[in-house]
Structures are given as C-alpha cells and as structure tokens.
Chain A
Amino acid sequence: MNSDLTISRRRFLQSLAAVGVVVACGPTAAPSPSPSPSGSAAPATAKPVSIEWWRRNYTPGSQTAETITSDAAVKGWRERNPNFTITIQGGPFGPETDQKFDIAILQQKAGPDVFHTTGGDVLKYAAASQLSEPPLTDAERKDFNPSALQATTYKGKVVAYPLWIVPWFEYINLDLFKEAGVTPPKDGNWTYDEFLAAAKKLTFKRANGKQAYGFAHANDEFAFMLIDGGRPYDKDVKTWTFNSADAVTGLEKWVALAQAKVMPPDFLTLNPNDSQARFLSGDIAILQRPSAMINVLNADKNWEFGKNWDIANFPKAKGDQTAWGGVGFIAVREQQDADKKAAAHQFAKYLTGPDIGPDLKKQTPPVEYWLAPAGRTSAAGIYGDYHPAKAKVAKMGAFTYVLPNVSTWSEIDQKYMRPARDAALEGKKTPKQALDEVTSAAQRLLDEANK
C-alpha cells in the first residue's frame, strides 16, 4: 500500500495559524582645588588587588559623561593607589541592565565588587543580604546629607554610600521673560502665586505666530504635591499619606496650571528629551528639570547663563521650601574575599568623598566629576565651583525631598499615582477623589514593602 502524505494550502495556512497561537505566549573645565578633610583616600595597599566596578551608561571609548568621569575616577584612584586594578563594566540605562544587575547579584551572588545603584535597588539588594555595610566613622556619618543617608538605610543600617542628590528646579528662558515683560524671580525665589502669575503672562502667541507656554515639566515627578507640606509617607514610612489635605491642595495647585492652560497640550505625555528640546527651541518659558540639564544648556552656544537662561527654586507655598529630587548611591557587594571587599569600600569612599573632585580637576584635560550636587558636605563645594549655575543650585540639596526607599514605589507610582494624577489634571476627577482612590492600593504595596 502506498500512502501519499500530502498537505493542502488550506491545511498549511491553518497549521501556520495554530503555531502562531502557541508562539503568542510565549564634562567641562573644572574649578580651583579645595582640599577637604578626607579619610576617603586610603593609603596605598601593599598587596595588589583587582576589583570590578559596574557603571550604567559606561561605554569604553565613548564621550558620555558617565564614561569620561568613570575613566578619570579610576585614573585618579590609581595615581593614589597603584596596586589597585579596576575594571569597569557598563550597560545602558534601562531594564536590560537592571536585570543584568539582578541576575548577577541576586541569583548568582557574583558580579560587581562595587557598583552605582539607585533607591529601589538598594533595598532590594540589602533585603537579599547582598550589600556590605559601609564602615563609616561618626564624622563621616555627620558629613553626609541626612535625607540621603536615610534613603540608604535598611532596617536601621546604612547599606550604601550616598553619591549625589539630584534636585529638580526651574530653568528660566530669560528671552521669553523679557519678551513677555515678566520680571524673573529675585535670587531665584518665588511664591506659588507669583509663579502662576508669571506662567500665565508667559503663555502667549509670539509675533511670528509661534505659541509660547509658560511652564512645562517632563511628567516624571510629583513636586507640586509637596508644595503645601504633603508627603507620600509618614515619618516611619509605614502609612501612605499622599491623600492628606496638604497633598490634595498641592495637587490642586498643579491642576490650576492645567486649567490655566499654561502648559503645552501634550503635557501628560511629554518625556524628558522632548521637554528639553521644546525649552531649547524657545517654546517653553519655565521648565522643571533636574540638575543634569545645566550641562545640556552649557553645551549649547546659543544659551548663555545669565543672559539667555537662569535657574530658580521650586515655588514656595504653605510648606517649607522644598525641591523634589533623587539620590544616587555607590554600593559594595557582600562577598567572601575580604581583600576585594576592603578595596571596594576604599574605592567607594573615594568615589563619594571630597578628594575625587580636585583629583579629576588636576587631570589633563580637567574632568568635572560631580554631575550633581554631592551627597556629603565636604564634597559639596566643588560642584558649585564648576559653573555659576551650579553654584546657584548647590545649596538646593539642603532642602531637596528625597523619596524614602520603598521597594514597591515604582509600582505605586506607575500603576496608581500617575493615572490618578492624570485624571485630576484632565479634570476627570477632583484631586481629593483621585488621591483617595489610590490610597488602599498604595497602602497595600507599602505594607508589602515593609514586610
């Protein structure tokens, strides 16, 4: 018997479709040296030691700020400690690199000896007992910014070194202020009412028909909700409080900006790069962005500080002067090799201490190490020495609200807070209604983080 196995086009197409269903799841010239009380630069060790430093956005041979500063930092450290060999590993900012860190540190219990990290990750790694506690002296503890130190505290212990504080503030287009006849805030200080009035006047159609908007932000923080004293959590970080009366009035002030139409119509989806581009093209008079934008403006010869642009504080209302901000950390991974661990701590202290700034300034060409205000007092001065704009904002670290470490914050933020904020800003819900609605979900996630 001869059995011919044939398949019709119809069967073939059906088979393809069935397989488809299965597959479906499936830097700049630097300042004058200001040597400060150190303790960070340990004396050269006699024993050679090799450590690995993982740094996001480090790409050998590239001109990214992270690459330039990291290479210079290693060079500076090796001049002090020639017996150290430091290898840098990079990776782009984003989930792929986050996952690389997680798999190495949490699953394989290997990977970097020292690494840059951010708020949520510090807790995650500390909870898995993968961070080596920094051996800080009392003097060093006092030297660090208290809120930054708190942000790296897990179960009462400091688990990483605060590197820098990244405050958000207001960038001002002085040309638009002049065109609209608005006086910039004196010494960068203004009240919310003055800020709102300025934003309204700065929203106008220019002579060439181009629309200018008074204010924009990149849709990535909740600064206005702090303006009357509102905070996401209570002091013990046990209770969700972003629906308090102060948080609600803060959101109402934010909503007032939307209602006054002083923000561009795409303000709900405006991402950081687009918002900066719109500011640079002269569409936005006041832009809320973090300190890193100073270097963006300095790199553009059309933008001269004091002539075309300036910096102002976040407007003040009922609460204390506050800025929203983040913190960067340097962490040391817990490991059996005592020599590597000790070397990693020495290097971490150097990276976060007062000596690195002057060391890198002496290099040829000079390198600006501090990309944001330092997390400790003894290292803070040099950031202000880099540029007059930086001098103006260096002191803002003192009143920057650093979000306490809650491992579930990104879920609270993206899944619940942003939609609630959007609903209020669009006028679909009142600020109180929007904030009340997320409270139970936010508290549940906060409780989960505190387990």
Chain B
Amino acid sequence: MTAALRRHGWSYVFVLPTFSLFVVFTLLPVAQGLVLALQDARVTGGTFIGLANFGTLADDPVFRQAIGNTVLYATVVVAAQVTLALVVASLIQPLGAKSRVFYRALFYLPLVNSAILVAMVWRWIFNPNPFGLANATLGAIGLGPFLWIGSSDQALLAVILSAVLTIPGGGVVLYSAAMGSLPRELYEAADLEGAGPFAKWRHITVPLLRPTTLYLVVVYTILAFQVFERVYIMTNGGGPNNATITIVQLIYSTAFQFGRYGLASAMAVVLFLMAMVVAVAQFRSLRTDVEY
C-alpha cells in the first residue's frame, strides 16, 4: 500500500485542479444547502430551527403534489426514453458505418438546441386553441380539440408527452456505441443455433447492454427529477390548479419568489434523498457481473 502510494501519490497533483473546482463549486454548495435546510434562512440570514422545515414540508399539500407529479413524470419519461433510445439504436445498428454515423448525428443534433426554445415549441404544439399543432393534426382526423396545457386534467400529460416524444439523442449515441463493442462470437454462436434477429436482440444485445442501461436510467432519472424549464415555459410555472408543479419548480418559487431559502433548501435535500434512494435501487436491480 505504502509502495503503491509512493509510486502513484504524485498522480494526485494532476487531479488536484479539477478536484478543487469540484469541491468549491459542487460539494461546498451542497453542504451549504444542507446547513440552510436546518435554518429559517432568509436573504438577511437565518436562525437554526432543526428539522422544522421538514415538518413544514410534510404538512404542505403543494409539496406533496409536487413530489407526486415529479415521480409520475420521472417514471413515465425515464421508461419511455430508455426504451426509445434502445429501440432507435437497435434499428440503426445493422446499417452501414456511414449511415450509422449519419443517424447518430441526426438524433444527437437536437440536443444542442436551447431547452427554453424547445419548451416554447411544445407550448405551441399543445396550445388548447385550434391553431395548436396537436389539435390541428388531430382535428384533421376528427379528434379533439383537447385542452392540453389549458386543463388541470391534461396539462401534466401534455408535459410528459412532450418529453416522451423527443427522441433522446444522447441515449441513442451511447447505446449505439455500446452495441458496436459487443462480442461478435455470441451472435455467431446464436446464428449457428438458429436464433432469429429478435431472439438475438432479446437474449444477447439487451442483457449485455445492462451497464449502459444502468447509466442511462440513473442519469435520466436524475434529469427527470430536476425537470424545470419544460414545466415553467409550457404551463407558466405550475399550470392550472398546480397540475404540473414539480419539486424544482417549487424550490425555485420558494427560494426566489417567496424568499424562503431554508425551506427551499429542505426541499432540495428531500430531492437529493429521493434521487439517492432511487439510484441505489436502480444500481441493485440492474447491476451485473457480466463484463465484455
């Protein structure tokens, strides 16, 4: 151990600049958030109140609604996006090298768009008036018009649909890259056994992609828990009757509109715990010892 330290200790010098930035701009703010969560913090300062903020949150129906909306959004969107990424990557994989590069770029390109602009487009698509794209399209086949973001019954559905209908380019690229490195021998063996394309995909590709799936599920879950701009732009914040209010939306308004920094930090701590518990569960259910 000492020999290893002596031999490799100097390596930490190279890590130090990045680690320092990580400590200053990530770990310390997270620690400060934990401290603020235990205070009645306002912009002028705060006093220590123990776990009172968490008691306030437990009694707050709006916060409970925000948790429910966030969990529902994350559950549906993560499942849909991971599945969609896997399916699209699988469809791209058999193509020639140039075509694969083209489609990877095609699906990844929308990610460079501003999330705000994308949300504004979705706001127009799900506008309850006949000129909204969804209503205009469905109207052509005799359906609707639907109220979409104008109704507390449909607003969250519209927000979820806007996320589900956006092909997750990052996931497609990751899956596509992972598929390219799967061992060919397994497929050759399956060919000899007479397995069809779906059987090979189902019994070889999908299981071997579990590390990538785990990564995508965890990252997409965290991103889904943090959903903000889509809800903020599409439904003016929490939507009709708080129908689309999410935890981060509530953290934003609690901190920057109501000036309750302590309470907002307590919400952030709850969000952190939720993300951690879910991530641990995902690690446990999706981990694999299979290496390739």
Contact = CB atoms under 8 A, between A and B. Distances in A.
A37 to B, nearest CB: 40
Interface residues of B, number: 57
A414 B241 CA distance: 10
Contacts of B29: 26
A98 B150 CA distance: 30
A98 B257 CA distance: 9
Contacts of A423: 152, 241
Contacts of B236: 219, 269, 271
Interface string A192-222: 0000000000000000000100000001000
Interface string B241-253: 1100000000001
A20 B241 contact: no
A14 to B, nearest CB: 7
Nearest to B258: A411
A17 B129 contact: no
Contacts of B129: 211, 264-266
B70 interface: no
A410 B241 contact: no
Contacts, number: 133
B215 A16 contact: yes
Contacts of B62: 415, 419
Contacts of A13: 211-212, 214-215
Given A10-B211, A22-B26, A269-B150, A95 B257 contact: yes
B237 interface: yes
Interface stretch (A101-109, A174-182, A396-404): A101-109
Nearest to A95: B256
Interface in A259-291: 264-269, 271
Given A14-B211, A17-B218, A410-B258, A426 B279 contact: no
Interface stretch (B47-55, B79-87, B198-206, B268-276): B268-276
Contact of A25 (B43, B211, B214, B271): B271
A383 B18 CA distance: 59
B185 interface: no
Contacts of B268: 25-26
Among A124, A219, A419, A426, the one with the most B-chain Cβ atoms within 10 Å of its Cβ is: A419
A8 B215 contact: no
Contact of B150 (A10, A24, A95, A267): A267
Given A25-B269, A211-B129, A419-B242, 12 more contacts: A14-B287, A20-B218, A21-B279, A25-B30, A25-B272, A26-B26, A106-B44, A264-B128, A268-B240, A269-B149, A269-B239, A410-B257
Pick the 9 closest A-B CB pairs, nearest first: A25-B272, A17-B218, A13-B215, A265-B128, A10-B211, A95-B256, A422-B241, A268-B240, A411-B258
Interface of B: 3-4, 8, 26-27, 29-30, 33, 43-45, 62, 127-130, 145, 147, 149-152, 155, 211-212, 214-215, 218-219, 222, 225-226, 235-242, 253, 256-260, 268-269, 271-272, 275-276, 279, 283, 287-288, 291
Interface of A: 1, 3, 5, 8-10, 13-14, 16-18, 20-26, 95, 98-99, 102-103, 106-107, 124, 128, 211, 219, 264-269, 271, 408, 410-411, 414-415, 419, 422-423, 426, 428
9 contacts: A18-B279, A21-B218, A21-B222, A21-B272, A26-B30, A107-B44, A269-B236, A411-B260, A414-B237
